[in-house]
Amino acid sequence: MLLGAAALPALATPLAAQARPAPVRVNIPAQPLGDALAQFAQQADIQLGVDAALVAGLHSPGVTGRVDRALALDRLLAGTGLDWRLADGVLTLQRRPVPPVTPGKQQAPLVTDALRVQGGDAPRDVAEVRAERGHDTVFDADFSSGYKDRAEIERYKGVTTSDLLTGMVNVLSGDARNSGALDPSIRGIQGPGRVPVVIDGTEQALTVWRGYNGASNRAYVDPNLISGLQVLRGPTDQGNIRSSTGGTVVINTLDADDVLRPGRNFGLDLRVEGGNNSTDPRLPTLLTGRDYRTVPGFPQSSPSFALRDPSLVIVPRTRDDNHFVSLGDRAVRVAGAIRIEGLDLFGAYAYRERGNYFSGTSEAGYYEQSDLPSNNLNRIRRMALGFAPGNEVPNTSSDLESVLLKATWHIADDQYLLVSLRDSVTRYGEIMPSRIPIDTGNVQWPLSKVHARAYNAEYKWQPESRWIDLKANLWATDTRSDTYNSGGMPNFATFNDPIIIDNARANAINNRYGLNASNTVRFGSTFDLTLSGNWQHEKLASHDVYDAARFQGWRQFPRAGRREEFLVRLDGEWRPTSFLKLNAGVSYAGYWAVDDFARSQIAKGNANLRSVAYRGYESFFNVSGTGEAYFERYWRTALTGLPTEDVDQFIGMMLPDYLASPYELSWEEAGPVWRPDAQGRYSRAGNPCLNGSLKSVAGNDGTCRLQNIVEVVPITAPRRSDHRWAPSLSATVYADEHTRAYARYIETWRFPSMFESTLGFSASFNPLAPLQPEHARLYEVGLVRDLRSLLHLNQEDQRADIKLTFYRNRISNVVERSTNLQFSNIREQTIAGIEAEARIDTGGFYTQVGAAFMTTNQVCDESAAALADRKNGSVPDCVKYGFPDGFLLTQATPEQTVNWTMGGRFLDKRLELGGRLTYYSRYNNPFFERIANLPREQQIDVYSLNVPFSWGAIVTADAYVRYNLNNRFSAELVGTNLNDRYYADPLTRSLMPAPGRTVRLSLTGRF
């Protein structure tokens, strides 16, 4: 019999006739195939003409989301051995013919993750469909996310790797021009372990010390190898992807589907690029091995801190040297793929060479405020006085070379095994932020080098069983770096050892091994249960030699340690009705960490390595007065420690002479001690300089100072560990087929990172208060509307959506650096805001707008506030962005950001024109600005060790023209920062203006 209109009258509405039907939103769980097809017919508004005997006993894995009908049917029939046909709104099935296997020809197996895109039309490009699915996920998923496909990445990859994230809502990269890597910030959250970057399931990140200016959490990636980039804003309940308090950046590299044309088994992809706004760096020849006393011009009075080292100083090239057709930025990529005997083989080679860039020339007013005092608080607002608009910016060059290899074995229709290797070597300009002079000339340091390798083996099995939907990924990364961020100088010597060495370069070896896995079990058609987890082991080492007996300037310790972390999640999804979906989950996570460097120094008996325990603050105040009482008080203070009878005898002998000719006496006395409570926390009420307890002391002139009570204690290196539970809840309500709303609550823990678990300079352990893990609680509400029916957009390639997201992320026990330069936990950080995203794509015209409005970024801690300004008590308990001298202060992001893209496709889509506008609101920290604008004589020293770099309002314009020359070749002309604006990137920790106007031409061939 037919499983059709007679059996299911509700499914009789035919599909509206159209050449390419629009995507549909479906929610079909794994279940018997007949039931799945019935649900699909109802949700996709088609008619069934299916023989029930043909589907008897078969099971469907289901499909969820907004997909075109062809893709949905491919997924529903995955592993069933059936083919489908959709004609005139009627779906029919037939058994897939199985041709005999002959040498040189074998039936291509179906992989559930692969996209077999077919139907009434010609086969579609798998990579294009994958890109569409990525963009659709932004609006289809019940969480906040962003996505960039390969075309957008290649078009707007910009000048430095950090430009990959430009144009994504509420996403930025820290220290964008002085790192050569990604350091993601999502919704104002950034730092070690807070925003993992996952590349093909692997994780490779180095936390790089930036002196007093904090630390960068760097992930090195080659933009030329990226197929798609997804940003998950906030913690996720996907246990097979490591997430954290800020979210996750998920990157997928190129594979065979990015190269092979539909129906082809062999393909090549060639891309060449050339860009301007670049000039070759004039790299210095270091003075290693020479006696500094014999080097002409070398600073003889400060050989260990030679900021004015003439061998490093350059005269930057000017805008007159920036030729429009310079091709100083050159790149090439070659990729190939072959599909034979159930095996996909893929390989790619990419190389990019770029010199120092030139800054912009317009709108530099915020950065050339010559009327401001020349001090640290105003360095960024005087930047253009030292780095003139339009000039070369030293230490910004980059050479990047990469190889990517992949092999996918399609074991059967329902399973595959993929193995891959990624190898990248980058050499890039870098300089410590504190070594960038603004008044003494521009300097060019040698290049840093990072060699990163990544390996992974991914397995997926999705048989016709409701018990198994398994995916696992075993991976390893090996990163070796020699970077100029140790804190030293490229040419360093001492008075005792005048032979010059390079002690600015730091070596690090970071190895990670990990496993991610998940399996979903389906109980009937309304309930799914997923068990997932991830584990990784990290080892950090260094070839640098630490000599405790030798002065090494401000060079940091060579960090070394081991760390392990795991997470296990159990999640359930229940769909009790067609308009409601409920999710709940629980996770268990833990970690341990060991400081191998500290242990090695303890084993060697290094007596110079000590830790400081701060026990409190002793108060001192000035006393002045005349008379016998003051005379006796003065000498008893001055002779403290001597026997009382000796002091009495001395005073009795001297007093008559003083009384005969009295004069005013002045001295300093010790007052009450300000001590922390049992948890090591301070309050203003206990501060003798602020609580008024000294006002009643006779002779007190109103002055007061505090002095640390310190205890030097031996370094310890215990095995630090912790483990915690965390819940998650979410609900989705479907108001109609076009509108839905969701709300979710999720908790997550971030355990101390490797950087926070190992000994270092300007950021070390507090022996009295071990670090606690950060605890994030995210509240998020989203409203989503599909606007296609409203705008009468019915074609497959047309889209129209709007999504509003409200979020509030409250993080307790935030790991921060204290005013004593020790890691500590502060009480709470709260970040809240609104995100709005909308798009329209008619097929010929498209536009997309993304906006973020951060309503709250507040850090609260009474103890940190009390310690930040012990003298005046000027720092409130809750501050914007972070407390002085802490790391959070340098992680501030714009309160308003807007990204607007638009374009059109012409000449049967052979010609495409488009552009992008990006806006960031100016830095807004009223407390900092009030302190910075005080006259010199009224300055309050609360930003002595970590001055936040602000920025003015930023607007940049980008545009492109793409033309398909024929079915093999295309050319693209891209211009970025076309308004040539002079600006500093948000989140910068270095005095470096961003690139100016840059034009790049690329030619791509696909064979």
Digit-coded pLDDT (tens) for 506-516: 999 999 999 99
What is the mean predicted confidence (pLDDT) over 197-217? 87
Give how far Cα 968 sits from Cα of 130, 132, 889, 910, 1005, Å: 20, 21, 50, 12, 5
What is the mean predicted confidence (pLDDT) over 9-26? 44
Q: Is the pLDDT of residue 44 over 50?
A: yes
129-252 domain in CATH 2.40.50.100?
no
Please give the DSSP secondary-structure letter assigned to residue 544: P
As a whole-number percent, the residues of the chain with pLDDT over 90 amount to 61
Confidence band of 17 (pLDDT split at 50, 70, 90): very low
Q: Is the pLDDT of residue 19 over 70?
A: no
The 665-674 sheet, strands edge to edge: 665-674, 610-625, 705-714
Ranges of each domain in the chain? 2-128, 129-252, 613-714
pLDDT for residue 938 = 63
pLDDT for residue 943 = 66
What is the mean predicted confidence (pLDDT) over 529-558? 87
> What residues pair up with 66 in beta bridges, in sequence order?
25
Question: Rounded CA gap, 391 and 389, in Å?
Answer: 6
What is the mean predicted confidence (pLDDT) over 101-124? 38
User: What is the sign of the dihedral through the CA atoms of 869, 873, 878 and 879?
Assistant: negative
pLDDT for residue 274 = 95
pLDDT in tens, 911-970: 999 999 999 999 999 888 887 777 766 666 666 667 888 999 999 999 999 999 998 999
Report residue 714 CA to chain centroid gap: 36
Question: What is the chain's mean pLDDT, rounded?
Answer: 88
In angstroms, what is the C-alpha Rg of the chain?
A: 32
E-only strand ranges, 762-844: 774-786, 799-817, 823-841
pLDDT for residue 68 = 77
Q: Is the pLDDT of residue 116 over 80?
A: no
E-only strand ranges, 609-693: 610-625, 665-674
Task: Confirm if 510 and 530 have CB atoms less than 8 A apart.
Answer: no
In terms of DSSP bridges, do strands 610-625 and 705-714 run parallel, antiparallel, or are they unpaired?
antiparallel
Single pTM value for the model: 0.86
Fold of 2-128: Phage tail protein beta-alpha-beta fold (3.55.50)
Q: Which residue has the tokens 């470096």?
A: 992
As a whole-number percent, the residues of the chain with pLDDT over 70 amount to 93
What is the mean predicted confidence (pLDDT) over 57-74? 79
Confidence band of 709 (pLDDT split at 50, 70, 90): very high
